[in-house]
C-alpha cells in the first residue's frame, strides 16, 4: 500500500444502491434520518436516489433541501439520455435538474454487450448519449460524476471501446470518472491492472478530473477492490453502510473507511468521527429492519469477541495479541465469551467485565468452569446470556438467593374454530417471603401469557419490574434429528431504561425453556 497521507473522498449510496437489497424499503422519513446520520460521520457525498424513477425519491429531494447538512452534499442519480431523446427533452435528465442539487451522478454503458443488447443502439450512438447528457447537465450548472457502468467487464471484452466511453465523459466535462465493477466479478489483481491501463491511456493527472471506484461484492472482493483502487490513484470511493446493495451488496464503507484510515494512513473522514462508525452501522440496520451481522469486521457485535481460552489468556496480558485494532477506535467493545472452550482466563475476565466481586480461588474457578462445560454439553450457550452466566456464578459460590418460590404454573392454548383465533392463557402460583400469590393472564402466545402472569404476580412485591420489557426472543433447535421432540434453546433479551441483558433456557419443552430464561431475566433485574 501507499504510505503517503492523502485525502480520499467518499460517496455513500445507501439511499440509492443500498435500497436495491432484498428486504430493504426505506420511507422518505427513513431516508432523511439515514442521510443526517451519514452526514454526521462526515461523508462527502450522499447519493439520495434516482429522481426520474419514482415518486418517493422525488419527495426525498424536496424534503432534504429543508435540512442544513454539516458535512455532506446531496447527489442526484440517473442515466444518460434515452437513445431516442434529445437531452433537453429527456425526462430522466430533467428530473435530476429539478432536484436543484449541485452535483449529479449519471451512468452510461462501457460494455459493448450492453450497448447492443440492453440499449439496442450503435456503439457510436452510445458515445453520443454520454457526451450530450454530460454537456447538458454541465450547461445547467451541475457538476457531473460519470459512472462507467460495467467498465471492467467492458474492458475485458473490448478494451478500446471501454476506454473510448470514459474518454468521451472526460472531454464532455465530468469532474470524476468512476469505474464500476457492476457485476462484482473482478478479482483484485485484474482490477489493479485495468485501472492502471485506463489511467495511463486516458490521463487523469489534471486537477479538474479524477478517478473513482464503485464495486459490488459478488466475488466477496468489493472492499479489497476499493482499497486497491485507492492505491492505483482513485480518489472517490463509492459504497454503502453495512455493504447493503443488490445481490451480494456493495463495498462496505464500515470496512473501507477504517481500512484506509487506520491501516493505510489515508484520511477520508475526521479522526474524531471514527468512533461513531459502530453506532451508525447499527442505526442504519435498525431503520432497515435487518438484523446486524454479528461477524461484520470492525463494527460487528462479535468483531472483538474472544472465546478460546488460550486467546483470552494472552489477551489478559496484552490486547494486541489477538486484536488488530483497539475496538474503542471504531466505537465497538471487547467481549469475552464463556463456552466449553473456556479456560480460567475467560472466567476471570468475564467476572471482571461483569464487575462481580468474588474470591478468585482455584476451587471456585474450577467449579465454575466445570459447570459451564457441563451445561454447554446439554445445549446451553452463554455467549449472549451474560445474566444467566452471572446467576450460575452466584449459585456455584453459594451467593444465590431466589426472589420467589414457584408453586406451579399452567399454560392453556385454545383454538376458536368460529373466529380462527388462537387464545393463550397462563395461571401461576408462587410464594414471596411466605406470602402466596395466584394470578392468571392472557397473552399473544403461550410464552407471552406466561411472561405476563409472572410479572403480574411479582410486581406487587417488586414494583421495579414495571421498568423491564422484553427486547428479543429467539428459539433455536439444538438437535434437529429429534424432530418435534428436539431440544430447543431459548434466548431472551430484556431491557430497562439503563441496560439490556441476555438469559437462556434449554429443554425439550419450549415452555419450560422459555420459563427458565424468563425467570433468569427477572432475577437479574432484581439483582440490579
Domain borders along the chain are 9-269, 305-396, 405-527
Q: What is the predicted pLDDT for the residue at 377?
A: 76
Q: What is the predicted pLDDT for the residue at 349?
A: 62
Weakest mean pLDDT among 91-100, 243-252, 288-297: 288-297
Tell me the per-residue pLDDT of 104-123, one tens digit each, with 9 for 90 and over: 999 999 999 999 999 999 99
Q: What is the predicted pLDDT for the residue at 207?
A: 67
Q: What is the predicted pLDDT for the residue at 3?
A: 39
pLDDT at 99 over 70: yes
Residue-by-residue DSSP string for 332-376: ---EE--STT--HHHHHHHHHHTT------HHHHHHHHHHHHHHH
Q: What is the predicted pLDDT for the residue at 351?
A: 64
Q: What is the predicted pLDDT for the residue at 4?
A: 39
Q: What is the predicted pLDDT for the residue at 243?
A: 98
- What is the pLDDT confidence band of residue 1, given thresholds at 50, 70 and 90? very low
pLDDT at 162 over 70: yes
How far is residue 107's CA from residue 126's CA, in Å, rounded to a whole number? 12
Q: What is the predicted pLDDT for the residue at 330?
A: 95
Q: Mean pLDDT throughout 449-454?
A: 93
Q: What is the predicted pLDDT for the residue at 337?
A: 59
Q: Mean pLDDT throughout 32-57?
A: 95
How far is residue 328's CA from residue 313's CA, in Å, rounded to a whole number? 21
- What is the pLDDT confidence band of residue 380, given thresholds at 50, 70 and 90? confident
Q: What is the predicted pLDDT for the residue at 294?
A: 84
In percent, how much of the chain has pLDDT > 70? 89
pLDDT at 65 over 50: yes
Q: Are 217 and 243 in contact (CB under 8 A)?
A: yes
Answer left, alpha or beta for residue 321, where phi above 0 means left and psi between -120 and 50 means alpha: alpha
Sign of CA dihedral 228, 235, 176, 214: positive
pLDDT at 257 over 90: yes
Short-list 347, 376, 346, 342, CA closest to 359: 347
Q: Do domains 9-269 and 405-527 have the same CATH topology?
A: no
Weakest mean pLDDT among 348-352, 421-425, 476-480: 348-352
Q: What is the predicted pLDDT for the residue at 517?
A: 95
- 435-443: strand order across its sheet: 405-416, 421-432, 435-443
The CATH architecture annotation of domain 405-527 reads: 2-Layer Sandwich (3.30)
Q: What is the predicted pLDDT for the residue at 273?
A: 95
Rounded to the nearest 5°, which phi and psi values hold at 101? -80, 165
Across the chain, what does the average pLDDT equal?
89
Q: What is the predicted pLDDT for the residue at 2?
A: 37
Tell me the per-residue pLDDT of 399-414, one tens digit each, with 9 for 90 and over: 888 999 999 999 999 9
- What is the pLDDT confidence band of residue 241, given thresholds at 50, 70 and 90? very high
Q: Mean pLDDT throughout 87-106?
A: 97
- What is the pLDDT confidence band of residue 394, given thresholds at 50, 70 and 90? confident
How far is residue 160's CA from residue 165's CA, in Å, rounded to a whole number? 9
pLDDT at 496 over 90: no
Tell me the per-residue pLDDT of 182-201, one tens digit each, with 9 for 90 and over: 999 999 999 999 999 999 88
Helix crossing, 344-353 with 362-378: angle to 10°? Answer: 90
Q: Mean pLDDT throughout 319-344?
A: 74
- What is the pLDDT confidence band of residue 90, given thresholds at 50, 70 and 90? very high
Q: What is the predicted pLDDT for the residue at 312?
A: 55
Q: Mean pLDDT throughout 381-390?
A: 82
Q: Mean pLDDT throughout 506-513?
A: 93
In sequence order, the 6+-apart residues with CB closer than 8 A to the CB of 378 are 506
pLDDT at 300 over 70: yes
Q: What is the predicted pLDDT for the residue at 519?
A: 95
pLDDT at 359 over 60: no
Q: Are 9 and 231 in contact (CB under 8 A)?
A: no
How far is residue 514's CA from residue 62's CA, in Å, rounded to a whole number? 49
Q: What is the predicted pLDDT for the residue at 352?
A: 63
How far is residue 216's CA from residue 244's CA, in Å, rounded to a whole number? 10
- HEC profile of 214-236: EEECCCCCHHHHHHHHHHCCCCE
Which CATH number does the domain 9-269 belong to among 3.60.20.10, 2.60.120.200, 3.40.50.300, 3.20.20.70? 3.20.20.70
Amino acid at each position: 500500500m501507499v504510505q503517503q497521507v492523502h485525502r480520499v473522498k467518499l460517496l455513500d449510496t445507501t439511499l440509492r444502491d443500498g435500497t436495491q437489497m432484498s428486504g430493504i424499503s426505506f420511507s422518505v422519513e427513513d431516508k432523511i434520518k439515514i442521510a443526517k446520520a451519514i452526514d454526521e460521520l462526515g461523508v462527502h457525498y450522499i447519493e439520495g436516489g434516482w429522481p426520474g424513477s419514482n415518486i418517493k425519491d422525488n419527495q426525498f429531494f424536496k424534503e432534504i433541501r429543508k435540512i442544513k447538512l454539516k458535512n455532506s452534499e446531496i447527489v442526484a442519480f440517473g442515466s444518460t439520455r434515452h437513445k431516442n431523446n434529445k437531452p433537453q427533452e429527456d425526462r430522466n435528465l430533467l428530473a435530476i435538474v429539478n432536484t436543484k442539487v449541485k452535483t449529479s451522478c449519471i451512468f452510461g454503458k462501457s460494455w459493448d454487450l450492453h450497448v447492443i443488447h440492453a440499449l439496442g443502439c450503435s456503439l457510436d450512438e452510445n458515445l453520443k448519449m454520454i457526451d450530450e447528457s454530460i454537456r447538458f447537465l454541465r450547461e445547467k450548472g451541475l457538476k457531473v460524476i460519470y459512472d462507467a457502468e460495467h467498465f471492467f467487464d467492458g474492458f475485458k471484452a473490448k478494451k478500446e471501446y471501454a476506454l473510448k466511453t470514459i474518454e468521451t465523459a472526460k472531454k464532455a466535462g465530468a469532474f470524476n470518472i468512476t469505474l464500476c465493477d457492476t457485476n462484482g466479478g473482478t478479482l483484485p489483481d485484474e482490477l489493479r491492472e485495468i485501472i492502471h491501463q485506463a489511467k495511463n491511456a486516458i490521463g487523469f493527472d489534471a486537477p479538474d478530473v479524477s478517478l473513482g471506484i464503485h464495486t459490488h461484492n459478488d466475488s466477496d472482493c468489493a472492499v479489497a477492490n476499493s482499497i486497491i483502487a485507492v492505491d492505483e490513484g482513485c480518489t472517490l470511493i463509492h459504497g454503502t453502510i453495512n455493504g447493503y446493495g443488490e445481490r451480494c451488496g456493495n463495498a462496505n464503507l464500515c470496512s473501507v473507511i477504517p481500512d484506509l484510515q487506520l491501516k493505510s494512513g489515508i484520511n477520508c473522514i475526521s479522526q474524531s468521527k471514527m468512533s461513531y462508525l459502530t453506532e451508525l452501522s447499527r442505526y442504519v440496520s435498525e431503520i432497515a429492519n435487518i438484523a446486524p451481522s454479528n461477524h461484520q469486521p470492525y463494527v460487528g457485535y462479535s468483531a472483538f469477541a474472544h472465546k478460546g481460552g488460550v486467546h483470552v489468556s494472552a489477551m489478559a496480558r496484552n490486547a494486541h495479541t489477538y486484536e488488530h485494532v483497539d475496538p474503542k477506535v471504531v466505537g465497538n467493545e471487547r467481549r469475552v465469551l464463556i463456552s466449553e472452550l473456556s479456560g480460567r482466563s475467560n472466567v476471570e475476565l468475564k467476572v471482571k467485565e461483569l464487575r462481580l466481586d468474588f474470591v478468585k480461588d482455584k476451587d471456585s474457578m474450577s467449579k465454575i468452569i466445570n459447570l459451564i462445560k457441563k451445561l454447554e454439553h446439554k445445549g446451553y450457550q452463554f455467549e449472549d446470556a451474560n445474566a444467566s452466566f452471572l446467576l450460575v456464578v452466584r449459585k456455584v459460590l453459594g451467593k444465590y438467593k431466589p426472589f420467589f418460590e414457584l408453586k406451579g404454573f399452567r399454560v392453556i392454548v385454545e383454538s376458536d374454530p368460529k373466529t380462527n383465533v388462537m387464545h393463550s392463557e397462563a395461571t401461576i402460583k408462587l410464594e414471596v417471603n411466605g406470602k402466596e400469590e395466584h394470578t392468571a393472564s392472557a397473552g399473544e402466545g403461550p410464552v407471552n401469557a406466561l411472561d405476563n402472569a409472572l410479572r403480574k404476580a411479582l410486581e406487587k412485591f417488586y414494583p421495579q419490574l414495571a421498568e423491564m420489557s422484553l427486547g428479543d426472543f429467539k428459539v433455536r433447535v439444538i438437535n434437529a434429528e429429534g424432530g418435534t421432540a428436539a431440544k430447543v434453546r431459548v434466548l431472551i433479551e430484556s431491557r430497562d431504561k439503563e441496560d439490556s441483558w441476555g438469559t437462556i433456557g434449554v429443554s425439550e419443552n419450549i415452555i419450560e425453556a422459555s420459563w427458565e430464561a424468563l425467570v433468569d431475566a427477572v432475577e437479574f433485574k432484581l439483582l440490579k
